[in-house]
Amino acid sequence: MGRAGEGEEDGLPLFETRVGKKSRVAYRIFGITVFIGICMIWVYRLTHIPTAEQGRWAWIGMFMAELWFGFYWIITLSVRLNVTYRYPFKHRLITRYGDKLPAVDIFVCTADPKIEPPTMVINTVLSVMSYNYPPEKLSIYLSDDGGSEFTFYALMEASQFSKLWIPFCKKFRVEPRSPAAYFSQNFNQQNPKLAEEWLATKKLYEDMKFRIEAATEKGRLSKEVKDQHKGFLEWNSQVTKQDHQSIVQILIDGRKPSAVDDDGHQLPTLVYLAREKRPQCPHNFKAGSMNALIRVSSEISNAPIILNLDCDMYSNDSDAIKEALCFFMDEKHGHKTSYVQHPQSYNNITKNDIYSNVASTTNLIELAGIDGYNAALYCGTGCFHRRESLCGLKYSENYRGELKNSVCDTKKDRTVHELEQGSKILANCSYEKGTQWGKEMGLMYGCPVEDIITGLTIQCRGWKPVYYYPETRKAFLGIAPTTLDQALVQHKRWSEGMFQIFLSKYCPFIYGHGKIKLGAQMGYCVYLLWAPCSFPTLYYVTIPSICLLRGVALFPEASRTNLGLFYGSTFALSLMA
């Protein structure tokens, strides 16, 4: 990429915000016509309530359902009118900040070695270790809520494998940098050097995968394996998933001159964490693990930017950190940015996508529409945070938000042992007692969708988060539910959790009143009101069919002109979706 003259580039912004096509005047006019149609349906229902007993209640029920659909349509319209897209300029960032980029801490969460196999977890870890970013500024933390020695073993294997994987990725500009995803692609390279190294690296990856899977299957680790690292001493017969002490092991200490890859380049820091779990102590699920990660990382590397990922979501673009930093480091607006959220995209979409995991309306329109009101939702993964805003800082006009050129200078003089001991205390159950963790600091507790509620509170403290949908290459790819029971469990948890927020004191119309724009409050409710939408929908799909069988008319007769209204409005609504 040609470097433009530095003087010329100086004053230019690091990102741009453009209004989406659909926000144009024609779309507004279209919206108004649909609204008129909806009002006419309401009027028709009200003025034609049957006087006879038969069908009266069914009619009123239809009216209620249509009232709800109309109301819900209005709140969805609020986000459709304001769709905006963001465009970062990473080359300007590199020209301007080159070697002054901030340190970044990356959190990966896992909770169960059976559901989330250790090989999948380390693929995510390896993909983020090999980011196209100065490795001395990267620290990767794996939080293992399963407290499993197999996950620890897999991470130890990954720390060894990274020594050749990172140079391989950088030399051949490999994408994506998750070995499993990369090796599953068709390989048709003419470059003989790459072909040779490709084969050798693939073989080593597969050997490692085999060792990990064999150990997991066997259900125990051999003595030779356990002798390789002092960390295994933490596991004894008393350690179970629900009951164990804090375990913190720094597998790679990025400060050490000996922590280098096969090409002699520095390696990123790599830390394993299993926070303390006791049966009598609530662990607060993922929110609890994220808060332990925030504290432990502040002890070890304390980077001002945090990337948070689920273990099933690997990095698909090695430049994603630089792109996200454009939103934080822009001289004019960057200091207001609390987090940069990417859409949730998946790499296991089936042909017919029967559970609608692609969610293109959500990702391309609704989330971008809420962002138009500076209120991007936090979705729990694929999100870059400013540490300060995540820890509860309120935005103020005087806030400068400089992202220091930090390479954890303050911790230079502390040994690995001291850092591990210090971190363990921070990951203890008792640490949070009587503190603001889970309330004002870190992720919020007590809600099944800790991400949405945490994002809302951050915005209400004055920050302006960003939603970024990269046009060319998706930054992260995850694994979507592929069976009915998985999809049902996930949707039930989401809709229940979100409705719970609506009914609590955090309802955006109350909590967000005067703090975030009305459009943003309505935008939140598109999701928070998912659950109650099921009642009118159920009503609408069952009652008219029953009434039809009994000969009760709920719709105007075909000869009447207003029949067109029903079909017309339905057609227009589907067009807008």
Helix/strand/coil for 339? strand
Enumerate long-range contacts of 348-356, CB under 8 Å, 24 or more apart.
348/479, 348/480, 348/482, 349/480, 350/482, 355/480, 355/481, 355/482, 355/484, 355/487
490 lines the binding site for ligand UPG (CB under 6 A): yes
Q: How far is the CB of 384 from ligand UPG (least distance, A)?
A: 14
User: Looking at beta carbons, which residue is closest to ligand UPG?
Assistant: 380
CB 345 within 8 A of CB 480: no
449 lines the binding site for ligand UPG (CB under 6 A): yes
Classify strands 383-386 and 305-310 as parallel, antiparallel or unpaired.
Answer: antiparallel
Q: How far is the CB of 328 from ligand UPG (least distance, A)?
A: 21
381 lines the binding site for ligand UPG (CB under 6 A): yes
Q: Point out which span in 107-115, 219-227, 396-404, 539-547 binds ligand UPG (CB under 6 A).
A: 107-115
Q: How far is the CB of 488 from ligand UPG (least distance, A)?
A: 12
Question: What span, in angstroms and rounded, lies between the C-alpha atoms of 380 and 289?
Answer: 12
Q: Point out which span in 72-80, 88-96, 103-111, 122-130 binds ligand UPG (CB under 6 A).
A: 103-111
Task: Name 541's Cβ contacts closer than 8 Å, sequence gap at least 6.
Answer: none
Question: What span, in angstroms and rounded, lies between the C-alpha atoms of 191 and 268?
Answer: 29
Q: Point out which span in 8-16, 108-116, 165-173, 538-546 binds ligand UPG (CB under 6 A).
A: 108-116
Task: Name 293's Cβ contacts closer than 8 Å, sequence gap at least 6.
Answer: 107, 109, 141, 143, 273
Number of residues forming the site for ligand UPG (CB under 6 A): 16
- Identify which of 110, 88, 76, 16 has the alpha carbon closest to the alpha carbon of residue 381: 110
118 lines the binding site for ligand UPG (CB under 6 A): no
**Interface mask (CB under 6 A) for ligand UPG, residues 181-200, using x and -?**
--------------------
CB 50 within 8 A of CB 500: no
Of 41 and 293, nearer to ligand UPG (C-beta) is 293
Q: How far is the CB of 110 from ligand UPG (least distance, A)?
A: 4
310 lines the binding site for ligand UPG (CB under 6 A): yes
Q: Point out which span in 65-73, 104-112, 261-269, 546-554 binds ligand UPG (CB under 6 A).
A: 104-112
Letter string b/e over residues 237-266, b meaning 16 or more CB atoms within 10 A of that residue's CB: eebeeeebbbbbbbbbbbbeeebebeeeeb
Mark the binding-site residues, compressed into ranges. 116, 145, 286, 310
The CA R_g of the chain, rounded to the nearest whole Å, is: 26
318 lines the binding site for ligand UPG (CB under 6 A): no
Contacts to ligand UPG from residues 401-420, by CB under 6 A: none
Query: Judged by CB under 6 A, which of 274, 311, 390, 501 binds ligand UPG?
Result: 311
Phi, psi torsion values for 348, nearest 5 degrees = -120, 40
Q: How far is the CB of 100 from ligand UPG (least distance, A)?
A: 31
Mark the binding-site residues for UDP-alpha-D-glucose, compressed into ranges. 116, 145
Phi, psi torsion values for 283, nearest 5 degrees = -100, -10
Q: How far is the CB of 146 from ligand UPG (least distance, A)?
A: 8
Question: What span, in angstroms and rounded, lies between the C-alpha atoms of 224 and 153?
Answer: 12
Q: Catalytic positions, please?
A: 145, 451
Query: Judged by CB under 6 A, which of 105, 145, 157, 420 binds ligand UPG?
Result: 145
Is the bond leading into 556 cis (omega within 30 degrees of zero)? no
Return the H-helix or E-strand segment holding 273. strand 269-274
Of 261 and 432, nearer to ligand UPG (C-beta) is 432
Question: What span, in angstroms and rounded, lies between the C-alpha atoms of 553 and 49?
Answer: 11
- Identify which of 459, 420, 457, 456 has the alpha carbon closest to the alpha carbon of residue 436: 457
315 lines the binding site for ligand UPG (CB under 6 A): no
Query: Judged by CB under 6 A, which of 77, 101, 103, 109 binds ligand UPG?
Result: 109
110 lines the binding site for ligand UPG (CB under 6 A): yes
380 lines the binding site for ligand UPG (CB under 6 A): yes
306 lines the binding site for ligand UPG (CB under 6 A): no
How many Cβ atoms from other residues are within 10 Å of residue 97's Cβ?
17
132 lines the binding site for ligand UPG (CB under 6 A): no
Contacts to ligand UPG from residues 248-287, by CB under 6 A: 285-286
Question: What span, in angstroms and rounded, lies between the C-alpha atoms of 182 and 305?
Answer: 27
Of 108 and 408, nearer to ligand UPG (C-beta) is 108
Q: How many helices (H) and strands (E) does the chain have?
A: 21, 12
Contacts with ligand UPG by CB under 6 A lie at: 109-111, 116, 143, 145, 285-286, 289, 310-311, 380-381, 449, 451, 490
